Chain A
Amino acid sequence: MSNYRVQGATGEWEVVIGLEVHAQVTSNAKLFSGAATAFGAEPNTQVSLVDAAMPGMLPVPNMECIRQAVRTGMAIDAQINRWSRFDRKNYFYADLPQGYQISQLYHPLVGEGAIEISLDEKDPEGAVKRIGVERIHVEQDAGKLMHDQHPTRSYVDLNRSGVALMEIVSRPDMASPAEAGAYLRKLRAILRYVGSCDGNMEEGSMRADVNVSVRRPGDPLGTRTETKNVNSVRFVMAAIDYEVKRQIDVLEEGGTIVQETRLFDPDKGVTRSMRSKEDAHDYRYFPDPDLLPLELDEAFLAECRASLPELPDAKRHRYEGLGISPYAANVLTAEVEAARWFDALLETDAKPVAAANWVTSELFGALNRLGRSIDDSPVSPTQAAELLALVADGTLSGSLAKQVFEIMLETGDGAAKVVEDRGLKQTSDTGAIEAVIADVIAKNPKQYEQFKGGKEALFGFFVGQTMKAMGGKANPAVVNELLKKALA
């Protein structure tokens, strides 16, 4: 994967990818105004005088947004700049009421950091690659224009105007669509663990500008294009795929790549030119004179650090230390909600390995089938612990446990109650089992003869018949042992 090459008509090509991710900061209020930030509200209902850029209005930094960006920086082990500053990026557009976006060009809040990705996600303990993060800065989002509401007019919705974004700028360290996908998934997991962004790409809380160039192996960097505002991991990978093929085609036909901004069309899976460098805006960046430089003191940073949760990699390593397989640990830590659920389960007496196996197979399977998220799980960690304890002490066999779990999902009852009510307790009563075995043999003389005649595969038939006659409640080990004796 790290040696990813694309075969063109004239030879092999290397791919160089950098991502600029815009992540909406989780906060009740906008970056510089007190207006609310809920998604899906009626147009222009979450707009303050500041967001509408009324005359004389002034921005005041929302320190919760700053705090979330600092915590994010700490989570990727980045340099936190105790002195940073806001700059204005000037351009005219109807979704930008001030005529400028308040951003940070010259002195970002967060400096150099890195994110580690697994080159094979099936083997998280295998090779990893560090993707550099150049900076994280905070800035205002713009409003939204709607061109399809009226034949001759465009409508403006300023609900998003002024919402806080983190712009997370990677180094051009990714060399394949898969690496870009892994980076995005890892970044999203970290943001969601930290709680600084909900990572919801469908609602636009996270979107990526994708910088792609190609080159012959060993050559200097080629000219890049930037595909704007791609809003899913799948689309990012598809946009890269398309751009790589397009650029190789252009170059192999003797053309040159134009440095330009492009748009991805998810329906057709293609990118299209939006504007070239020649049409690029002159943004006339300069320090925002309405705002003082942002100076963070030690107490603020200490609180940010202390409030950081255990992060995905650390959690995965901890799980592995409990004997859980790297694969299961990776599955359990991929989404913060699942990890939190599993941590709650670990706080009970549940045995880590059995618990991990049960969660990754039984619970995730059931949730998948029911179309529910783990936050919405019908079974709580405490209820799961009760079920696992019944398996551990031999009360329930594996197959009984599955039955009990199904009933728990339907009724919401606890495992012990289900076992009690339905009499699903496993039995090791040898007398009862021997009686059933004798009955099974008596009723199946033909199979008995065949078995005796050497068809040993029929042993499983007798196990099945015995278990069936016992209503699934017989301890399978005991059944095996007694059957061996009876058939000897």
Chain B
Amino acid sequence: MTELADLTIAAIRDGVRDGAFTAREVAEAFNARVAEASALNAFLVATPDHALAAADAADAARAAGETLKPMAGVPIGMKDLFCTAGVRTTAASHILEDFTPTYESTVSQNLWNAGAGMLGKLNLDQFAMGSSNETSYFGNVISPWRRRDGGNAALAPGGSSGGSSSAVAARLCPGATGTDTGGSIRQPAAFTGISGIKPTYGRCSRWGTIAFASSLDQAGPMARTVRDCAIMLEAMAGFDAKDSTSLQLDVPAWEAGLSGDLRGKRVGIPKEYRVDGMPAEIEALWQQGIAWLRDAGAEIVEVSLPHTQYALPAYYIIAPAEASSNLARYDGVRYGLRDLPDGANLQQMYAATRAAGFGPEVKRRIMIGTYVLSAGFYDAYYTQAQKVRALIARDFERAWEQCDLLLAPTAPSAAFALGEKSADPIAMYLNDVFTVPSSLAGLPAMSVPGGLDAAGLPLGLQIIGKALDEQSVLNAGLAIEERAGFTARPERWW
């Protein structure tokens, strides 16, 4: 029999409902996995009691003959960017190292309301700023994957949701929450051979999620199958009056709507995503993806997104600009770290606190953001970037006249070694080249595993859809999943 902790979300849900096993057995199995995996550094805090309590509630509900909630008995990992009442929430930063919220984020509350339990809080890039998880104050997460070259180089799990990707790929949890600002769900999913979807901006409430860049931040699920992503996203999404940018729409029944039959759908292949220096294996996988979607009944068309090359620079102006303002609240006055040198005045206290509390990448982005918003530079940078953003959105609008979905690689490379790019911020930022355009346009986008490269590392394919059309994105993801037959998993070394 399969180990309980190897089951998918759907299998756990069904098994608990059908009495094949108890939710408590599932929670205990995963709690044990989490406890044994400290070498991955995926979890910042373990919350075994939270998982057990949710499991016991599910078991009691079943015993009482009640209809079980949609995620009853499913334990998940929670990215440590979501505020959780009574559980330390750090954004992987020193400045919030000892911060324990009194309130629960809407997304996490929605999951608990759906019957899920929490195994713990997952490591991430500090304030979700990074593509390798190396900016965490609590040390980098290590990917469970290793290259087939016999070396033991520790690989990046992607970022910023690197704790989530690592934990799901290593089967420490069947699913985890992520947040995606410029690719922070999709790129780590691709690096670790799992699935992840960033829904349309506004589907998931941002209330109680520590902000990086408000106009881009969007929560989404990371799990091993497309079905699991659909189940989890249904639980996470929904209108929230506490978030002005939340969409006032009912949550569709995405799981019930799943179908790998793509007849009648047109899939666009954006020619601008064929970038110089992209590994041949990624190009080959992209071609394979096209063949799979054609096989599923889709018509393939070539489309043009002419402003793609400007997306990354625009993103690295807009996101830091918003971040520089969003992170101003961490000032040592009301909560979090306070560094008060002897005789310091208010300004000196701010400087000391923020110098000590933020890591180098966070400081870099605060400085970039402060610069691009400053008088005299605002129009040249911020206003210009907003114009580019509008053009990017228009590119997609025009593409939708020819197709329903877009297929592209998720990232320009497989997982790289820790330390390989951390000295070169530009090389690191280039990781987001395929994920950033859809973020700027607020569109739903998903990464699903397509195969392994020659070194035995996973590669992901990205599907981008029209606003609010998560269903088509999930369906195309399912069509790929059914054909890719991706069963590879990292060998346990931790």
A55 contacts B375, C-beta separation under 8 Å: no
Tell me whether A90 and B373 are in contact (CB under 8 A).
yes
A290 to B374, CA, bound (A): 20
- Known contacts A60-B241, A92-B347, A55 near B329 by CB under 8 Å: yes
Bitwise interface map of B from 214 to 228 toward A, beta carbon under 8 Å scored 1, else 0: 110000000000000
Of B211, B325, B334, which is within 8 A of A97 by CB? B334
- Which of A46-54, A75-83, A181-189, A446-454 makes up part of the contact surface? A46-54
Selected from B103, B213, B327, the residue in CB contact (under 8 A) with A49 is: B103
Cβ contact of A58, chosen from B102, B243, B327, B370, cutoff 8 A: B243
A59 contact set on B, CB distance < 8 A: 244
Q: Is B334 touching A90 in the complex (CB atoms < 8 A)?
A: no
Given contacts A284-B374, A290-B214, contact A56 B209 (CB under 8 A): yes
State whether A56 touches B329 (Cβ < 8 A). Answer: no
State the Cβ distance, B26 to closest chain A Cβ, in Å.
29
A154 nearest in chain B by CB position: B346
- For residue A289, which residues in chain B have a CB less than 8 angstroms away from its CB? 213-215, 322
B311 within 8 A of A: no
Q: A140 → chain B, closest Cβ, in Å?
A: 14
Q: By the criterion CB–CB under 8 Å, are A286 and B321 in contact? A: yes
Q: Inside 8 A of B214's CB, which chain A residues have their CB?
A: 289-290
Q: Mark A300-311, 1 if CB is under 8 A from B, else 0.
A: 000000000000
Q: Are A100 and B96 in contact (CB under 8 A)?
A: no
B288 at the interface (CB under 8 A from A): no
Contact residues on B (Cβ < 8 Å of other chain), bracket: 35 or more
Known: A92-B347, A284-B374, A291-B244. A55 touches B210 (CB 8 A): yes
Q: Which of A53-99 contact B (CB under 8 A)?
A: 53-61, 88, 90, 92-94, 97-99
Q: Does B99 contact A (CB under 8 A)?
A: yes
How many whole Å from A406's CB to the nearest CB in chain B? 58
Per-residue CB proximity of B305-339 to A under 8 Å, as 1/0?
A: 00000000000000001101101110101110000
Say yes or no: A284 contacts B333, CB within 8 Å.
no
Tell me whether B83 and A284 are in contact (CB under 8 A): no
The total of Cβ contacts below 8 Å across the A-B interface reads 97
Complex contact B328–A56 (CB within 8 A): no
B325 touches A286 (CB 8 A): yes
B245 touches A290 (CB 8 A): yes
B208 part of interface (Cβ distance < 8 Å): yes
Known: A90-B328, A94-B333. A56 touches B374 (CB 8 A): no
> Which chain B residue has the least Cβ–Cβ distance from A156?
B333
CB pair B373–A99 under 8 Å, yes or no, is: no
The chain B residue with its CB closest to the CB of A94 is B333
Does B89 count as interface, using CB distance less than 8 angstroms?
yes
Closest CB in chain A relative to B160 CB, distance in Å:
16
User: Are B382 and A286 touching (Cβ within 8 A)?
Assistant: yes
- Alpha-carbon gap, A446 to B132, bound state (A): 118
**A282: CB under 8 A from chain B?**
yes
Taken together as a complex, chains A and B put the C-alpha atoms of A285 and B82 apart, in Å, by: 28
A38 interface contact, C-beta 8 A: no
**A486 at the B interface (CB under 8 A):** no
Residue of A49, A154, A284, A285 with most chain B CB atoms under a 10 A cut-off: A284
**Helix, strand, loop or mixed for chain A's interface?**
loop
Query: Smallest CB–CB gap between B342 and chain A, Å?
Result: 11
User: Closest residue of chain A to B215, judged by CB?
Assistant: A289
A150 to chain B, nearest CB (A): 14
Residues in B neighbouring A292, C-beta threshold 8 A:
244-245
Q: A134 to chain B: closest CB distance in Å?
A: 21
A286/B373 in contact, CB under 8 A: yes
Q: In the docked arrangement, what's the CA distance between A61 and B101, Å?
A: 24
Q: How far does the alpha carbon of A99 sit from the alpha carbon of B346 in the complex, in Å?
A: 13
What is the CA–CA distance of A284 and B375 in the complex, to the nearest angstrom? 7
Contact of B328 (CB < 8 Å), options: A49, A57, A58, A99: A99
B329 close to A53 (CB less than 8 A):
yes
Which residues of chain B come closer than 8 Å to A284, judged between CB atoms?
324-325, 370, 373-375, 378
Give B444-462 as 1s and 0s: 1 = Cβ < 8 Å from A's Cβ atoms: 0000000000000000000
Min Cβ gap B200→A in Å is 15
- CB contact list, A272-317 vs B, under 8 A: 282, 284-286, 289-292
- Contact B244 A290, beta carbon cutoff 8 Å: yes
Q: Contacting B333 at CB < 8 Å: which of A88, A97, A290? A: A97
Q: List chain B residues, Cβ under 8 A from A92.
A: 328, 331, 347, 350
Residues of B within 8 A of A156 (CB): 333
CB-CB under 8 A from B102, the residues of chain A are 49
CB distance B331 to A58 under 8 Å?
A: no
Q: Which residues of B contact A58 (CB under 8 A)?
A: 206-207, 242-244
Minimum CB distance partner of A88 in chain B:
B325
Task: Please list the residues of chain B having a beta carbon within 8 angstroms of any beta carbon in chain A.
Answer: 82-83, 89, 91, 96, 99, 101-103, 105, 206-211, 213-215, 241-245, 321-322, 324-325, 327-329, 331, 333-335, 346-347, 350, 370, 373-375, 378, 382
Which residues of chain A have a CB within 8 Å of any CB of chain B? 49, 52-61, 88, 90, 92-94, 97-100, 154, 156, 282, 284-286, 289-292
6 additional contacts (CB under 8 A) given A55-B99, A56-B206: A56-B82, A56-B208, A90-B324, A97-B329, A286-B321, A292-B245
Supply 22 A–B pairs (Cβ within 8 Å), ascending by A: A54-B103, A55-B329, A56-B83, A56-B208, A56-B211, A57-B207, A58-B207, A60-B241, A60-B242, A90-B325, A92-B331, A94-B346, A97-B333, A97-B334, A99-B327, A99-B328, A99-B329, A156-B333, A282-B374, A286-B382, A290-B244, A292-B245
